[in-house]
Homo-oligomer: A and B are copies of this chain.
Amino acid sequence: MMLAEIITIGNELLYGRIANQNAQYISTQLTQAGFRVIQITTIPDEIGEIIEALSGAKKRGVEVVITTGGLGPTSDDLTRAAFLKYFNYPSTASNLAWSAIENHLGTAPGICCKQDNQVTIALPGVPAEMQSMLQQRVLPYLKSQFNLPTFYQKTICTIGIVEEELARILTPWEKQLPSHIQLAYLPNLGTVNLTLTTRLTTAEEAKKEIELQVQKVLPLIKDYVYGYEDDKLEEVVGNLLQSQHKSLAIAESCSGGYASQLIVQVPGCSAYYYGGIVAYNNRIKQEVLGVSERTLLQYGAVSQQTAMEMAQQVRIKFKASIGLSSTGIAGPGKAVNEINPVGAVWIGYADEDRCYAKKLQLTTNRLSNIRLTGYNLLDLLRRRLQGIYD
């Protein structure tokens, strides 16, 4: 297996002031290209440290080293100087191949050195420049230089089920997975991505084996699957609305506009999204949205009845085919009463024929609750549009 290392250069990375997103990006790309990344090293802008890191990688015998950072024009940019020193001193001129890598988005070109069987590449630290150069120049070059195994990956995106429960359901299937297929769970804000990865000699074989496993697992979890790879829930829901010729309006209390702006993130959403009302207090729920005073007094703002009336009212007011709503206790303060602790949220759905609401019990973190309510609202809509009923 071809081995690779990443060296990220920059004092700001060592102070902890910024996240090392470059390292993550490059390691993902190298892994998908079929390399095995065995080390990521972050060092300061110092010639001695850069040379030591390059020597370490050489000693470990990796085929590819990619560095980022320190290529700019200012006095603290020392990568080029370190490369010149490192490659000239211990090697003869004949086995040193040095070439520049064009940078169409910035001023600092990259460096590519091939020495013996090791390729060492320096890229700038500015993410957009680094990413463009990696995609357009570096990866094609590496693929031409090394005989790489085929990497195949498939991601199944789920929502509405927690990681533990998903793992419990999948145990029998996981146990029969062949050892050359790896499964990873990646939970994030109410969603859990399942990634299946394999490396085999041919692309067809790898794809066939992974797809076979996907077909086996789908029946176990189908109600929770909203997409594949980089699919976003808001795009999936948008496509469903558009293909079914339906329009949407949203009334939000505790989510405060979060669900609405998720929908609006999708280009072309004006075809199905009319807008919404953020009714953050009871007077607005009554006066602007049109929830009856009686409902609010009798059942309270955080109730099934209020959520249903909010969804119905926003639908009528906006002349949309579907209305959604949220009302709950975002926290982090004390619970309003025993029935509604912090994190208790009702989400509502209404169309011409049906109107119902569902209770969620979320977390004690305000920001998480706002976002989770937004995603749960979109998932309520997805399930209805896909004909899935609880």
Contact = CB atoms under 8 A, between A and B. Distances in A.
Interface stretch (A37-45, A166-174, A215-223, A350-358): A37-45
Contacts of A136: none
Nearest to A269: B280
Contacts of A186: 17-18
A270 interface: yes
B274 A281 contact: yes
B15 A31 contact: yes
Contacts of A287: 319
A12 to B, nearest CB: 7
Q: Size class of A's contact patch?
A: 35 or more
Contact of A278 (B40, B265, B276, B330): B276
Given A257-B259, A258-B257, A366 B265 contact: yes
Contacts of A14: 27, 31, 36-40
A19 B17 contact: no
Nearest to A27: B16
Contacts of A44: 38
Interface in A163-187: 184, 186
List 6 A-B pairs, minimum CB-CB distance, nearest first: A256-B264, A257-B257, A16-B28, A257-B260, A16-B27, A40-B42
Given A23-B42, A260-B278, 16 more contacts: A13-B40, A15-B28, A16-B23, A16-B29, A20-B20, A39-B43, A40-B42, A257-B260, A257-B264, A257-B278, A264-B280, A265-B366, A269-B280, A274-B281, A275-B284, A277-B277
